[in-house]
Structure 1
Amino acid sequence: MTQLPTAPIKLKLITTITQPDEKPEVIELWSTGTIMRKRDQVYIQYEEVLEEHKMKTTLRFGHTDAIIMRNGDIKMRLPFVLDALQRGHYEAAFGTIPLLTHTKKMTFKEAADGSNNGEFFIQYDMIIDDKIVGDYQLEFTYSEGI
Protein backbone atom coordinates (compact mmCIF):
# COMPACT_ATOMS: atom_id res chain seq x y z
CA MET A 1 0.00 0.00 0.00
CA THR A 2 1.51 3.31 -1.03
CA GLN A 3 1.66 6.29 1.29
CA LEU A 4 -0.20 9.34 -0.03
CA PRO A 5 1.80 12.59 -0.03
CA THR A 6 1.24 15.02 2.80
CA ALA A 7 2.23 18.67 2.99
CA PRO A 8 2.73 21.00 5.96
CA ILE A 9 0.08 23.66 6.54
CA LYS A 10 -0.78 26.52 8.87
CA LEU A 11 -4.29 26.31 10.25
CA LYS A 12 -6.65 28.83 11.82
CA LEU A 13 -9.85 27.60 13.43
CA ILE A 14 -12.55 29.92 14.73
CA THR A 15 -15.32 28.19 16.68
CA THR A 16 -18.46 30.11 17.60
CA ILE A 17 -20.75 28.36 20.08
CA THR A 18 -24.18 29.74 20.80
CA GLN A 19 -26.03 27.97 23.59
CA PRO A 20 -29.71 28.62 24.32
CA ASP A 21 -30.23 31.91 26.20
CA GLU A 22 -26.46 32.66 26.23
CA LYS A 23 -24.17 35.07 24.41
CA PRO A 24 -22.02 33.46 21.70
CA GLU A 25 -18.61 32.17 22.80
CA VAL A 26 -15.80 32.53 20.25
CA ILE A 27 -12.66 30.37 20.46
CA GLU A 28 -9.72 30.93 18.13
CA LEU A 29 -7.00 28.33 17.56
CA TRP A 30 -3.82 28.67 15.50
CA SER A 31 -1.88 25.50 14.76
CA THR A 32 0.30 23.70 12.28
CA GLY A 33 -0.48 20.36 10.76
CA THR A 34 -0.51 18.34 7.59
CA ILE A 35 -2.85 18.07 4.64
CA MET A 36 -3.47 15.10 2.38
CA ARG A 37 -5.92 14.55 -0.47
CA LYS A 38 -7.57 11.25 -1.30
CA ARG A 39 -10.18 11.09 -4.05
CA ASP A 40 -12.42 14.14 -3.56
CA GLN A 41 -11.71 14.40 0.17
CA VAL A 42 -9.26 16.58 2.12
CA TYR A 43 -7.66 15.26 5.31
CA ILE A 44 -6.14 17.71 7.79
CA GLN A 45 -4.34 16.54 10.94
CA TYR A 46 -3.17 18.77 13.77
CA GLU A 47 -2.57 18.77 17.53
CA GLU A 48 -4.95 20.59 19.84
CA VAL A 49 -4.76 21.56 23.51
CA LEU A 50 -8.04 22.43 25.25
CA GLU A 51 -7.91 23.23 28.96
CA GLU A 52 -4.70 21.19 29.40
CA HIS A 53 -6.10 18.23 27.43
CA LYS A 54 -3.97 17.15 24.46
CA MET A 55 -5.62 15.68 21.40
CA LYS A 56 -4.69 14.69 17.88
CA THR A 57 -7.45 15.94 15.60
CA THR A 58 -8.28 14.71 12.12
CA LEU A 59 -10.69 16.64 9.93
CA ARG A 60 -11.91 14.95 6.75
CA PHE A 61 -14.15 16.91 4.44
CA GLY A 62 -15.41 17.30 0.92
CA HIS A 63 -18.34 19.08 -0.65
CA THR A 64 -21.09 16.82 0.74
CA ASP A 65 -19.89 15.39 4.06
CA ALA A 66 -17.28 15.78 6.79
CA ILE A 67 -16.09 14.24 10.04
CA ILE A 68 -14.04 15.50 12.97
CA MET A 69 -12.20 12.87 15.02
CA ARG A 70 -10.22 13.61 18.17
CA ASN A 71 -7.97 11.12 19.95
CA GLY A 72 -6.07 11.70 23.16
CA ASP A 73 -7.24 12.89 26.57
CA ILE A 74 -10.64 13.52 25.00
CA LYS A 75 -12.03 11.32 22.24
CA MET A 76 -14.73 12.57 19.92
CA ARG A 77 -16.34 11.60 16.64
CA LEU A 78 -18.58 14.17 14.94
CA PRO A 79 -19.95 13.23 11.50
CA PHE A 80 -21.67 15.76 9.24
CA VAL A 81 -23.98 15.43 6.23
CA LEU A 82 -25.85 18.50 5.04
CA ASP A 83 -29.49 18.60 6.24
CA ALA A 84 -29.18 15.24 7.99
CA LEU A 85 -28.92 13.91 11.54
CA GLN A 86 -25.72 11.97 12.22
CA ARG A 87 -24.73 9.96 15.30
CA GLY A 88 -21.50 10.77 17.08
CA HIS A 89 -19.98 10.67 20.56
CA TYR A 90 -17.84 12.59 23.04
CA GLU A 91 -15.69 10.60 25.46
CA ALA A 92 -13.77 11.96 28.45
CA ALA A 93 -12.73 10.73 31.90
CA PHE A 94 -16.34 10.85 33.15
CA GLY A 95 -17.67 8.57 30.39
CA THR A 96 -19.14 8.62 26.90
CA ILE A 97 -21.95 10.90 25.76
CA PRO A 98 -23.85 9.88 22.62
CA LEU A 99 -24.87 12.87 20.52
CA LEU A 100 -26.37 13.90 17.21
CA THR A 101 -25.29 16.57 14.76
CA HIS A 102 -27.70 18.34 12.41
CA THR A 103 -25.69 20.12 9.70
CA LYS A 104 -27.32 23.36 8.52
CA LYS A 105 -24.58 24.75 6.28
CA MET A 106 -21.33 23.44 4.83
CA THR A 107 -19.00 25.15 2.33
CA PHE A 108 -15.58 24.22 0.99
CA LYS A 109 -13.36 26.47 -1.14
CA GLU A 110 -9.97 25.49 -2.48
CA ALA A 111 -7.38 27.78 -4.05
CA ALA A 112 -7.72 27.89 -7.84
CA ASP A 113 -3.93 27.72 -8.28
CA GLY A 114 -3.71 24.14 -6.96
CA SER A 115 -1.89 25.16 -3.78
CA ASN A 116 -2.74 23.73 -0.37
CA ASN A 117 -4.78 26.79 0.59
CA GLY A 118 -8.47 26.75 1.34
CA GLU A 119 -11.41 27.30 3.63
CA PHE A 120 -13.97 24.97 5.16
CA PHE A 121 -17.05 26.22 7.02
CA ILE A 122 -19.68 24.21 8.82
CA GLN A 123 -22.68 25.20 10.94
CA TYR A 124 -24.52 22.57 12.92
CA ASP A 125 -26.72 21.95 15.93
CA MET A 126 -25.39 19.60 18.60
CA ILE A 127 -28.17 17.49 20.08
CA ILE A 128 -27.91 15.53 23.34
CA ASP A 129 -30.91 13.65 24.81
CA ASP A 130 -33.21 15.12 22.11
CA LYS A 131 -32.28 18.70 23.11
CA ILE A 132 -30.29 21.20 21.07
CA VAL A 133 -27.42 22.15 23.39
CA GLY A 134 -25.76 24.58 21.02
CA ASP A 135 -25.40 26.04 17.56
CA TYR A 136 -21.79 25.57 16.40
CA GLN A 137 -19.98 27.35 13.59
CA LEU A 138 -16.49 26.16 12.64
CA GLU A 139 -14.36 28.20 10.23
CA PHE A 140 -11.17 26.43 9.11
CA THR A 141 -8.68 28.41 7.05
CA TYR A 142 -5.50 26.66 5.97
CA SER A 143 -2.45 27.62 3.93
CA GLU A 144 0.79 26.04 2.75
CA GLY A 145 3.87 26.08 4.91
CA ILE A 146 4.71 26.15 8.57
Structure 2
Amino acid sequence: MAEETVSCPVKIHMTTEIFQEETEKIELVLFGHYYEKGGSAYLKYEEMQEAGKIHTVVKVASGRALVMRSGAVSMRLDLREGSRRPGTYENGYGQFPIEAAADEIVHTRTGSLSGQLSLGYRLYMHGDSVGTYKMKIHYEEVQAAK
Protein backbone atom coordinates (compact mmCIF):
# COMPACT_ATOMS: atom_id res chain seq x y z
CA MET A 1 0.00 0.00 0.00
CA ALA A 2 1.39 3.39 -1.00
CA GLU A 3 2.05 5.88 1.77
CA GLU A 4 0.67 9.40 1.73
CA THR A 5 3.48 11.58 0.41
CA VAL A 6 1.99 14.98 1.21
CA SER A 7 -0.82 15.76 3.61
CA CYS A 8 -2.00 19.08 4.99
CA PRO A 9 -5.06 21.10 6.01
CA VAL A 10 -6.06 23.56 3.29
CA LYS A 11 -8.29 26.53 2.67
CA ILE A 12 -10.40 25.98 -0.45
CA HIS A 13 -11.94 28.65 -2.65
CA MET A 14 -14.34 26.97 -5.05
CA THR A 15 -16.25 28.56 -7.90
CA THR A 16 -18.80 26.52 -9.85
CA GLU A 17 -20.52 27.88 -12.92
CA ILE A 18 -23.56 26.00 -14.17
CA PHE A 19 -24.76 26.72 -17.69
CA GLN A 20 -28.38 25.68 -18.28
CA GLU A 21 -31.14 27.93 -19.60
CA GLU A 22 -29.55 30.55 -17.36
CA THR A 23 -26.09 30.72 -15.86
CA GLU A 24 -25.70 30.16 -12.13
CA LYS A 25 -22.50 30.87 -10.23
CA ILE A 26 -21.77 29.43 -6.80
CA GLU A 27 -18.77 30.49 -4.73
CA LEU A 28 -17.71 28.77 -1.51
CA VAL A 29 -14.82 29.16 0.89
CA LEU A 30 -14.24 25.97 2.85
CA PHE A 31 -11.58 24.25 4.88
CA GLY A 32 -10.52 20.74 4.05
CA HIS A 33 -7.56 18.46 3.56
CA TYR A 34 -5.20 17.92 0.62
CA TYR A 35 -3.12 14.80 0.21
CA GLU A 36 -1.29 12.80 -2.42
CA LYS A 37 -1.28 9.04 -2.59
CA GLY A 38 -0.33 6.57 -5.31
CA GLY A 39 0.28 9.27 -7.94
CA SER A 40 -3.11 10.93 -7.39
CA ALA A 41 -4.02 14.21 -5.68
CA TYR A 42 -6.99 14.30 -3.30
CA LEU A 43 -9.04 17.13 -1.83
CA LYS A 44 -11.47 16.31 0.99
CA TYR A 45 -13.96 18.81 2.36
CA GLU A 46 -17.43 19.19 3.86
CA GLU A 47 -20.10 21.69 2.93
CA MET A 48 -23.43 22.54 4.47
CA GLN A 49 -26.42 22.90 2.18
CA GLU A 50 -30.14 23.23 2.88
CA ALA A 51 -30.46 19.44 2.67
CA GLY A 52 -27.68 18.94 5.26
CA LYS A 53 -23.96 18.15 5.44
CA ILE A 54 -22.20 16.80 2.34
CA HIS A 55 -18.77 15.12 2.46
CA THR A 56 -16.82 15.46 -0.80
CA VAL A 57 -13.63 13.84 -2.07
CA VAL A 58 -12.12 14.93 -5.39
CA LYS A 59 -9.41 12.64 -6.75
CA VAL A 60 -7.33 13.80 -9.73
CA ALA A 61 -4.75 11.89 -11.75
CA SER A 62 -3.55 12.38 -15.32
CA GLY A 63 -6.59 13.08 -17.51
CA ARG A 64 -9.04 11.70 -14.92
CA ALA A 65 -11.01 12.99 -11.97
CA LEU A 66 -13.38 11.26 -9.59
CA VAL A 67 -15.86 13.34 -7.55
CA MET A 68 -17.46 11.41 -4.69
CA ARG A 69 -20.06 12.98 -2.43
CA SER A 70 -21.88 11.43 0.51
CA GLY A 71 -24.27 12.63 3.18
CA ALA A 72 -27.37 14.69 2.35
CA VAL A 73 -26.53 14.14 -1.34
CA SER A 74 -24.63 11.16 -2.74
CA MET A 75 -22.91 11.33 -6.09
CA ARG A 76 -20.22 9.48 -7.97
CA LEU A 77 -18.91 11.32 -11.01
CA ASP A 78 -16.16 9.61 -13.02
CA LEU A 79 -14.60 12.19 -15.33
CA ARG A 80 -12.25 11.24 -18.16
CA GLU A 81 -11.31 13.60 -20.94
CA GLY A 82 -12.82 12.59 -24.26
CA SER A 83 -15.36 10.03 -23.02
CA ARG A 84 -18.86 9.94 -21.58
CA ARG A 85 -18.82 7.98 -18.31
CA PRO A 86 -21.68 6.61 -16.18
CA GLY A 87 -22.22 7.81 -12.62
CA THR A 88 -24.90 8.05 -9.95
CA TYR A 89 -26.70 10.83 -8.11
CA GLU A 90 -28.87 10.27 -5.06
CA ASN A 91 -30.89 12.69 -2.97
CA GLY A 92 -34.00 12.45 -0.79
CA TYR A 93 -36.11 11.61 -3.85
CA GLY A 94 -34.16 8.55 -5.00
CA GLN A 95 -31.13 7.44 -7.00
CA PHE A 96 -30.68 8.53 -10.61
CA PRO A 97 -28.20 7.30 -13.22
CA ILE A 98 -26.17 10.14 -14.70
CA GLU A 99 -23.42 10.45 -17.29
CA ALA A 100 -20.65 13.01 -17.57
CA ALA A 101 -18.44 14.00 -20.48
CA ALA A 102 -15.30 15.85 -19.38
CA ASP A 103 -13.97 18.71 -21.47
CA GLU A 104 -11.26 19.83 -19.04
CA ILE A 105 -9.37 18.18 -16.19
CA VAL A 106 -6.38 20.25 -15.12
CA HIS A 107 -4.44 20.17 -11.84
CA THR A 108 -1.88 22.97 -11.57
CA ARG A 109 0.45 23.11 -8.59
CA THR A 110 1.30 26.70 -7.63
CA GLY A 111 3.43 25.73 -4.64
CA SER A 112 4.41 22.65 -2.69
CA LEU A 113 1.04 22.62 -0.90
CA SER A 114 -1.12 24.88 -3.05
CA GLY A 115 -2.68 24.71 -6.47
CA GLN A 116 -5.81 24.78 -8.57
CA LEU A 117 -8.10 22.15 -10.03
CA SER A 118 -10.16 23.00 -13.10
CA LEU A 119 -12.94 20.58 -14.02
CA GLY A 120 -15.23 21.20 -16.97
CA TYR A 121 -17.91 18.67 -17.89
CA ARG A 122 -21.31 18.18 -19.46
CA LEU A 123 -23.86 16.34 -17.32
CA TYR A 124 -26.60 14.07 -18.67
CA MET A 125 -29.58 12.42 -16.95
CA HIS A 126 -31.70 9.85 -18.81
CA GLY A 127 -29.67 10.70 -21.93
CA ASP A 128 -30.65 14.39 -21.88
CA SER A 129 -28.24 17.24 -21.18
CA VAL A 130 -28.88 18.88 -17.80
CA GLY A 131 -26.10 21.44 -18.06
CA THR A 132 -22.46 22.26 -18.47
CA TYR A 133 -20.39 22.68 -15.32
CA LYS A 134 -17.10 24.51 -14.80
CA MET A 135 -15.47 24.09 -11.40
CA LYS A 136 -12.38 25.96 -10.28
CA ILE A 137 -10.99 24.84 -6.94
CA HIS A 138 -8.06 26.81 -5.52
CA TYR A 139 -6.43 25.34 -2.42
CA GLU A 140 -3.60 26.49 -0.18
CA GLU A 141 -2.06 25.19 3.00
CA VAL A 142 -3.42 26.48 6.28
CA GLN A 143 -0.77 26.97 8.94
CA ALA A 144 -1.75 25.31 12.19
CA ALA A 145 -2.30 27.68 15.14
CA LYS A 146 0.45 27.44 17.73
What TM-score, normalized to structure 1?
0.91
Alignment partners' CA distance in 2, 1:102 and 1:137: 12
Q: Kindly state the Cα deviation for residue 53 of structure 1 after the two structures are TM-superposed.
A: 1.8
Q: Quote the residue 1:70 is aligned against.
A: 69
**Could you list the per-position Cα deviations for residues 107-136 of structure 1 after superposition, in whole angstroms to 9, with x for gaps in the alignment?**
11012x4x2100110111000111111000
Matched residue, 2:34: 35
- The aligned amino acid for 1:87 is P
Higher strand content, 1 or 2:
2
Identity of aligned residues (%): 28
Give the structure 2 partner of residue 13 of structure 1: 14
The runs of at least 4 consecutive aligned structure 1 residues that moved more than 4 Å come to none
Aligned-partner Cα distance in 2 for 1:58–1:30 = 16
2:116 counterpart SS class:
strand
Deviation of 1:40 (Å): 2.0
In structure 2, the residue matched to 1:117 is 114
SS in 1 for 2:122: strand
The question of whether the paired residues in 1 share the 8 Å contact of 2:76 and 2:89 is answered with yes
The structure-2 alpha-carbon separation of the partners of 1:3 and 1:41, relative to structure 1 and needing over 3 Å to count, comes to closer
What CA distance in whole angstroms lies between the structure 1 residues aligned with 2:49 and 2:61? Answer: 26
Q: What CA distance in whole angstroms lies between the structure 2 residues aligned with 1:61 and 1:25?
A: 25
For residues 143 and 86 of structure 1, the distance between their equivalents in structure 2, rounded to whole angstroms, comes to 30
Unaligned runs of 5+ in 2: none
In structure 1, runs of 5+ residues without a counterpart are none
Query: C-alpha displacement at 1:52, in angstroms?
Result: 4.0
1:140 and 2:141 are equivalent in the alignment: no
Aligned residues: 142
C-alpha RMSD over aligned residues:
1.5
Question: 1:2 and 1:108 mapped to 2: Cα distance?
Answer: 21
Among 109, 128, 132, the alignment partner of 1:131 is 128
